[in-house]
Structure 1
Amino acid sequence: MDKILLMLQLQADLNEATNGEKWTSGITKNSKVINWKRCIYMECAEMIESFTWKHWKNIDKEADWDNLQVEVVDVWHFIMSLAIENYSQTLRGQIEDLAINISELESFNKINTQNTTFAQQDDIIEKIESIMLDTLSKEPLNLEKLISDFFDLVVMSGLDLESLYKLYVGKNILNQFRQDHGYKEGNYIKIWAGEEDNVIMKRILEENSDIKPDELYKKLTKLYLALNKS
């Protein structure tokens, strides 16, 4: 449960820094409406682009498994945000209560076991679309089903709790870095020498297994400044 709680706390902190103290009310500090469900299904659509699902184009191209895992983590950001907002608005409890309830889900046991195996492409896409349907439904949000479907996706994407946590922390730091370097204002450069910053962040994590969050931030800064000088 500790890693779930830490991720929820980091997400709440990031949302507060980005959207203001009252973000759980569904409105940012700039009076923009927050729609976490839309964030989830739009990110899921991007996730499907990791695969060669188009029958008329690039039919022999290998799936982008690295991008899939990064997109899974992106969806997790939004699912956690939606869950925290839901608990706040329905008075179900605090972040600690949410973490306990998530860890008690039967599906949590699936990700709490080491895993590096990918499922079949079509099965993964079907699960992604199930998550989209969870957020597109006009019925009241079934948060437990949404999280359970997501945990199924985690396992199908060759991830587990440990790797999900590590990638999440990396993406959390990258998101902070983006905000500090003009992302909201539209000044941030997302493609670094032909590669997306997500890919570079993931490579740094893979090459530095014990890297601390502040060290990752420093490495990103060094690379980004070198990019802007060239």
Structure 2
Amino acid sequence: MDNKILLMLQLQNQLNDATNGENWTKGVTKNGKTINWKRCIYMECAEMVDSFGWKHWKSIDVEPDWQNHQIEVIDVWHFIMSLAIEVYERNLKGGIEDIAIDISALESLSNIQTDTLKFASQEDVIEKVENLIRIAVSKDEIDLGELVSEFFDLVSMSGLNLDTLYRLYVGKNILNQFRQDHGYKEGTYIKVWNGDEDNVVMKKIWEENSDITPDILYKKLEKAYLALTKS
């Protein structure tokens, strides 16, 4: 079993408990709001396509925004893991460790356990994203193995590997907790910090502090946010 996969699943479960209540796997939040992880996946994938200049009638020479695309990849991973946890519990297939074992056994995982970081062509990446959308919009019972395998293909095509996926995921997980603690649901949270989205700020902190812990990352985000709100 891959420890990084297990830890990410554990962190996602903790975030969902804190954000949606401990009964979120039953498909409803503590506020009575319906949860649809499949919809979250395909809507986030649709947003991901906008990281590329796919429009033939507008800004035809624009370069792909790989940095934004990678953040969107991480967001989709949040939702895929959430769906897996919900499906395993609903179908009595086991808990988080069982999911980690099954994901670790996927042949596609080996494709992202490499140091080779290359971007695929824009068209190939968009085609892979659209494959994820097709799986997510299906009315049939979702094949989690296929979904995760397609996602891991997307990871490797997006200039990421397991290590960078893990680092960005942990960073975004902490940022999501930070957002919830600072008025995200209430609509009072400020997402753009001195011209940069909070995603970009988080990514820069990780890149500048290779040994940073999740707790210290949270504190650095809090320090920057307090300086922003007091100015």
TM-score, normalising length from structure 2? 0.98
5+ long unaligned stretches in structure 1: none
SS of the residue corresponding to residue 18 of structure 2 reads helix
Runs of 4+ in structure 1 displaced over 4 angstroms? none
Residue 115 of structure 1, CA deviation = 2.6
Q: Quick one: which amino acid aligns to residue 187 of structure 1?
A: T
For 2:204, the aligned partner's letter is R
Partner in structure 1 of residue 202 of structure 2: 201
- 2:150 equivalent to 1:149: yes
Matched residue, 2:79:
78
- Deviation, structure 1 residue 194: 1.5
Spell out, residue by residue over 1:64-102, the C-alpha distance to the aligned partner (whole angstroms, 9 max, x if none).
000111110000000000000000001111110000000
Which stretch of the first structure deviates more once superposed, 134-143 or 71-80?
Answer: 134-143
Q: How far, CA to CA, are the matches of 2:28 and 2:186 in structure 1?
A: 18
Counterpart residue number, 2:179: 178
Letter in 1 for 2:75: D
Cα distance in 1 for residues equivalent to 2:112 and 2:156: 6
The 2-side partners of 1:70 and 1:115 are apart by 19
- Residues in 2 aligned to 1:127 and 1:116: alpha-carbon distance in whole angstroms: 17
Aligned partners of 1:35 and 1:124: how far apart in 2?
25
Task: Give the % identical residues.
Answer: 68
Q: Does structure 1 residue 223 correspond to structure 2 residue 227?
A: no
- Which residue type is aligned with residue 49 of structure 1? D
Q: How many residues align?
A: 230
Report matched runs for 1:46-85 at 5 Å.
46-85=47-86
1:35 equivalent in structure 2: 36
Do structure 1's residue 123 and structure 2's residue 119 form an aligned pair? no
Helix, strand or coil at the partner of 2:107: coil
Structure 1 counterpart SS, 2:88: helix
Quote the residue 2:24 is aligned against: 23
Aligned twin of 1:14: 15
* Structure 2 SS opposite 1:107: helix
Instruction: Give deviations 1:21-40, integer Å, cap 9, x for gaps.
Output: 11111111111110000100
Offset at residue 199 of structure 1 (A)? 0.8
Q: 1:103 aligns to what?
A: 104
Aligned to 1:167: 168
| AA in 2 matched with 1:50 | S
Give the Cα–Cα distance (whole angstroms) in 1 for the partners of residues 90 and 170 of structure 2.
26
Q: CA deviation at 1:41?
A: 0.6
Q: 1:17 offset after TM fit, Å? A: 0.4
Describe the superposition over 1:161-216 as per-residue Cα deviations: whole angstroms up to 9, x where unpaired: 10000000000000000000000111101111121100111111111111111111
Any gaps of 5 or more consecutive residues in structure 2?
none
Q: Which amino acid aligns with 2:93?
A: R
Deviations 1:44-74 (A, max 9, x none): 0111111000111111111100011111000
- CA distance in 2 between partners of 1:41 and 1:203 (Å): 27
Q: Indicate the RMSD between aligned Cα atoms, in angstroms.
A: 0.7
Structure 2 CA distance, aligned partners of 1:115 and 1:75? Answer: 22
What is the rounded CA distance, in whole Å, between the counterparts of 1:140 and 1:176 in structure 2?
Answer: 30
Structure 1 residue 229, shift from structure 2 partner: 1.5
Q: Distance in 2 between matches of 1:222 and 1:228?
A: 10
